[in-house]
Amino acid sequence: EVQLVESGGGLVQPGRSLKLSCAASGFTFSNYYMAWVRQAPKKGLEWVATISTSGSRTYYPDSVKGRFTISRDNAKSSLYLQMNSLKSEDTATYYCASLYLRCFDYWGQGVMVTVSS
């Protein structure tokens, strides 16, 4: 059974940093592109980052470029999102998702990040 389990969320002050993790199991993690997608409270979905199978290529929207860094450890079947210079508008539930044929395939249960003083 495919499982994606996010962790590392919480309450953080504006301007501070937080690192999310996503533990994958039930599939060959190293064969899949991976992504982070977020959802602000009562809002829609927003793509945050994508990483290639080897980790050599990463992609971000302008809203997080230069502040967020996606990375992966294939030996540990783990995905990460380092979030720096956090803003109130980064408050959201963050999901990790596998990408299959460029489609968001399996999703984790999500982890809440609240940016507030």
Partner 1 sequence: DVVMTQTPPSLSVAIGQSVSISCKSSQSLVYSDGKTYLHWLLQSPGRSPKRLIYQVSNLGSGVPDRFSGTGSQKDFTLKISRVEAEDLGVYYCAQTTHFPFTFGSGTKLEIK
Chain residues binding partner 1 by CB under 8 A are: 35, 37, 44-47, 50, 59-62, 95, 99-110
Q: Where are the alpha helices (DSSP H) in 1-117?
A: none
User: Minimal distance in Å, beta carbon 44 to partner 1?
Assistant: 5
User: Minimal distance in Å, beta carbon 87 to partner 1?
Assistant: 18
Cβ proximity to partner 1: between 15 and 34 the closer is: 34
Helix (H) or strand (E) holding 48: strand 45-51
Cβ proximity to partner 1: between 35 and 86 the closer is: 35
Is residue 78 within 8 Å of 22, Cβ to Cβ? yes
User: Minimal distance in Å, beta carbon 12 to partner 1?
Assistant: 22
Cβ proximity to partner 1: between 91 and 99 the closer is: 99
Residue that the structure tokens 């783990």 belong to: 78
Distances (CA, A) of 84 to 13, 35, 67, 93: 11, 18, 5, 16
Cβ proximity to partner 1: between 75 and 101 the closer is: 101
User: Minimal distance in Å, beta carbon 17 to partner 1?
Assistant: 23
β 18-25/3-7 pair status: antiparallel
